[in-house]
Amino acid sequence: MSAQPPSPASEPENRPPLVVVREMKKYFPVTEGLIFERQIGSVRAVDGISFEIYPGETLGMVGESGCGKTTAGRTILGLYPITSGEVSISEIEVHKMNRPQALSLRRKAQMIFQDPYASLNPRWTVSAIIGEPIRIHRLAASEKERNERVHELMMLVGLSPRLINRFPHEFSGGQRQRIGVARALASNPEFIVCDEPISALDVSIQAQVVNLLEDLQEQFGLTYLFIAHDLSMVRHICNRVAVMYLGIIAELAGRDELYANPLHPYTQALLSAVPIPDPKKDRVRQRIILTGDVPSPLNPPSGCRFHPRCPIAQPQCAEKTPEWREVRPGHWVACHLV
């Protein structure tokens, strides 16, 4: 797929973007040999993606498992070194930051993880977990002040401060995710990557966590990259949505535009699987069933990466990489036939 230009600066408002990603690639080397290791290829987990995220907005990033969305989120935050391309967050150039800038970025940009249990140290109390970013970034003048701040954060995410000395295993899944949210908020960030924050939770709890994230966004003007594996999850929380497939972005548009008028065959297939609340409409609509698995990012297909699974693929699709084009204001897509 060709280089992806930025989405227009007018989307969704005229303020400069908080996060800018340009042609970002993240490859992982594949090696063989135990004693004399040699590289035999690369997993192209993220292969040249570009977009912006504006202050106060939520950009959804969706796609099947293995499409590179979690790697993209971690690379944007500098948790993985960037193979090539550029990323800036709040004017910190992540692709070439030094140690003081990395520390500053840790304060300004945080992550909420998919598995709240695995992401919390089981031997630490809630007080230590939420208090750690406050300690690292020296955001409290004394231990008393730090404890007060932990209390405040617990109340903010709907946890009773009476539980401050408990350990993660003493909480339910939803409560553990609230601890993760409080920890992410502790350093007063501007930007948070929410990496499938609700997919490990019971359906009954998912809406509560989404509502909490929305409330916090409103209260603190937070900016989110919200990663999810299906389009139904991001519908209510995102302003714009990027659909990822095998390391690239296939389509990017405003939420309403994308749901009303999906243009890429992959987006159309994903949307056709989203349940409709009206059973009559749900019965008659056509589902697009994709055949085959997502190909290996070690050796992605030529031309359009989606061509081996695309229901409307043409001979040219296997040969030529589709251009990334803005087909309507703010609606970008990479497909020869659109």
Q: Which of residues 276-315 bind ligand SF4 (CB under 6 A)?
A: 304, 306-307, 310, 312-314
**Closest distance to ligand SF4 from the beta carbon of 313 (Å):** 4
Residue placing its CB nearer to ligand SF4 in the complex, 174 or 247: 247
**Closest distance to ligand SF4 from the beta carbon of 150 (Å):** 49
**Closest distance to ligand SF4 from the beta carbon of 304 (Å):** 3
Q: How far apart are CA 272 and CA 245, in angstroms?
A: 16
Residue 336 touches ligand SF4, criterion: CB under 6 A? yes
Residue 2 touches ligand SF4, criterion: CB under 6 A? no
The number of residues that bind ligand SF4 (CB under 6 A) is: 14
Element (H, E) at 89: strand 84-89
Residue 78 near residue 94 (C-beta atoms within 8 A)? yes
**Closest distance to ligand SF4 from the beta carbon of 251 (Å):** 10
- Bridge partners for 241 per DSSP: 60, 253
Binding pattern for the stretch 252-271 against ligand SF4, x by CB under 6 A and - elsewhere: ------------xx------
- Bridge partners for 30 per DSSP: 41
Closest among 74, 78, 70, 71 to 95, alpha carbons compared: 78
Q: Which residue has the tokens 């949505």?
A: 241
Q: How far apart are CA 323 and CA 232, in angstroms?
A: 27
Element (H, E) at 280: helix 279-284
Residue placing its CB nearer to ligand SF4 in the complex, 276 or 312: 312
Residue 337 touches ligand SF4, criterion: CB under 6 A? yes
The phi, psi pair for 249, rounded to 5°, reads: -95, 125
Binding pattern for the stretch 209-248 against ligand SF4, x by CB under 6 A and - elsewhere: ----------------------------------------
Q: How far apart are CA 147 and CA 142, in angstroms?
A: 9
Q: Which residues make up the interface to ligand SF4 (CB under 6 A)? A: 264-265, 304, 306-307, 310, 312-314, 317, 322, 335-337
